[in-house]
Amino acid sequence: MRGTGNLKALIRYIVYGGLLCLTAGQASAGVRVQAQVDRSSPIYSDSRFTYSIVVADGRQPENVDLAPLKNYSPSTPSTQSRTSIVNGRTSSFQILSYQLLSPAKGTFTLPSIEVTVDGKSYQTNPVTISVVEPGTTKQIDVAMKLSSQTCYVGQPVILTLSFYVWTDIVRADQIANIGIQIPFLDDGNFYQEAVDTQFRKVKQTVLPINGQKEYVYQDQLLHKGVDCLRIRFTRVLIPKKPGVLNLNSASVAADLAVGQKQQSRNRFFGDFFGSQYEYKRFGVQSDPIQLQVQALPQEGKPADFYGLVGNYTISADATPKEVNVGDPITLTIHISGSQYLKPVQWPKLEKIPQMTESFKMPSERSDGKIQNNAKVFTQTIRPNRDDVKQIPPIPLSFFDVSKGRYRTVYTKPIPLQVSPTRIVTGSDVESRQLPTFGKKIKAVREGLSANYTSLDALVNQHFSPLIALTSPAFIFLYAVPLIGLLSSAAVRYIVTASPHRKNANRRRRARSHAVKRIRHDAVDHEKPSQQVLLALKQYIVDKFGKPTGSLTAMDCGSIIFEKTNDGELSALYQEIMEETEASEYSPMAFKLTTEKQKEIIELIAKIEKKVK
């Protein structure tokens, strides 16, 4: 069973088929609510499976109480609406599909849950499932490690899970539906954040982890003597409390090709069962690890300590350094030294006496930004006296893990040269004298001009073409139009070739270029999904003038939301990009059908209308 899209289609056919029989037998019944589980493939331990709630002849449920299913970690539902006609009777179906996490091997019963439709409560039927263990193979492997196995409360620890798969399998499209489970991430013992600096220049893709789409990083290397593709997931873990934390095994499951099979000629199931391989589910588990978390000591804790644990440095700079009283100075503070910088806060400048005495500081300030492995804070300050000689040292307190004690480090003082400001008073204005201007008399020579009567005073003014070509007056007459023509051509060339004009042309043609690539280039390419992904990324670059760097699906979704303020369009754009990225590991996760082409092209058209 390959693609998630085809799997959902098959689930719908199975669900609808059963419901149509139910409708035919109970034509007089009102709203009916039923729970079903996808049984088109085995349910493997520590893997996600589809649990659907189907409401027949009713509206979308106002409330679904999932509390009885909390041990199965239900995901956010996907919703669908369908209509069918049987024996002349029209029936409607509202379908909510959840991804549940299966337990260990065995037989289990999913309890009945309460569903509210049109203000009335309904109970679903219990559903029994059988969970089996996936097979094992040397073709995939998984390892999990921490950056340190001992830490203090509040000290960031980097978790790295590495999944290895033979490169030959990936190239032959013999692996699909990769799922990763890291159970201890959901036990509430840690604050969690994405890693700030690692792997930014490594290729990214999207995979489901604990039922949620997460970005992972991939590269290629030798693992146990075999050329493998390595997929890494990283997370910053910040322990909330002291003690020994047992981090249970993480698991990875995937469908691997185990043999060839003939394609089905059945048009109904042709796409789904048309894969050239027979697949089987395999899984691997990492070794469990322990994390020893120590409590922070109370002795020697500085008054300005707010929880930083690790080893940090702080530096500052200011521009300009020669100013008058009241002139603005841009103060820039850099804090670095830790792999995880999000907990770093603005230094409390208002707690430094020399700062409050010597400078005016606004109450509002911009958030810090992470740049070049440092968190950067910028603020404008103004000296309020001409005897201010420096910006005083700025402290930063943290618990130094290597020394086992609290430390406070400081910036170096920044020398300033502050001059007094001349204050203009009313008397200064009144006493100012305006300059006077005199007129100079110009002498003009007067008298009679000489009168000439000789023939020598006459000039021959007969017209000559040669003389006309060299005459300044004629040169002016024919040169001005020529210069105007050349200038117009030059201006037209400069305007056309200007970056602004080029960007405008690129924005105007962004849609047509994307549509051409999706409608023609992708169809003829051996990997259509990659062409669609490139088309969607290039559309963002061309339409919105974004850099041609490594745009992610999340980046593109955020850009569209920013430009259109339409959450539905941005979410759909991001989802399609994530499907194309996932197809690198699950080839059937995205299939470029005629309907899919139309959907993507219509989506781009809607975005164009929104941004105009």
Q: Of all helices (H) and strands (E), which one includes residue 604?
A: helix 594-611
pLDDT of residue 26: 45
Nearest Cα neighbor of 68 from 123, 113, 122 is: 113
pLDDT of residue 28: 44
Task: Quote the DSSP letter at residue 325.
Answer: T
Query: Is residue 589 a contact partner of residue 582, using CB atoms and an 8 Å limit?
Result: yes
pLDDT of residue 263: 52
C-alpha 205/C-alpha 551 separation (Å) is 11
Q: Of all helices (H) and strands (E), which one includes residue 376?
A: strand 374-383
Query: Is residue 74 a contact partner of residue 113, using CB atoms and an 8 Å limit?
Result: no
Our CA angle for 170, 174, 178, nearest 5°, is 75
pLDDT of residue 337: 87
Query: Is residue 570 a contact partner of residue 553, using CB atoms and an 8 Å limit?
Result: no
Percent of the chain residues topping a pLDDT of 70: 78
Query: Is residue 121 a contact partner of residue 114, using CB atoms and an 8 Å limit?
Result: yes
Query: Is residue 32 a contact partner of residue 61, using CB atoms and an 8 Å limit?
Result: no
If 0-12 CB within 10 Å is exposed, 13-18 middle and 19+ buried, where does residue 320 land?
Answer: exposed
C-alpha 462/C-alpha 449 separation (Å) is 28
Q: How far is CA 578 from CA 201, 213, 560, 582, 591, in A?
A: 19, 9, 15, 6, 13
- List the chain residues with pLDDT less than 50: 1-17, 19-28, 264-274, 437, 444
Our CA angle for 71, 76, 77, nearest 5°, is 105
Instruction: Name the phi and psi angles at 42, rounded to 5.
Output: -60, 155
C-alpha 180/C-alpha 162 separation (Å) is 11
- Report residue 72 as tokens: 């199965």
Indicate the Cα dihedral angle 99, 100, 105, 111, nearest 10°: -130
Write a three-state SS string for 280-314.
Answer: EEEEEECCCEEEEEECCCCCCCCCCCCCCEECCEE
3-class secondary structure, 555: helix
Q: Which residue has the tokens 């569209």?
A: 560
pTM of the model: 0.54
Task: Quote the DSSP letter at residue 421.
Answer: P
pLDDT of residue 387: 92
- Going by C-beta distance under 8 Å and a sequence separation of 6 or more, which residues neighbour residue 530? 580, 583, 584
Q: Of all helices (H) and strands (E), which one includes residue 503?
A: helix 499-516
Please, how many CA atoms are within 13 Å of residue 129, restricted to the half-sphere of its CB? Answer: 26
Nearest Cα neighbor of 61 from 13, 125, 121 is: 121
Count of CB atoms situated within 10 Å of the CB of 253: 22
Task: Quote the DSSP letter at residue 517.
Answer: I
Query: Is residue 340 a contact partner of residue 236, using CB atoms and an 8 Å limit?
Result: yes
C-alpha 601/C-alpha 513 separation (Å) is 11
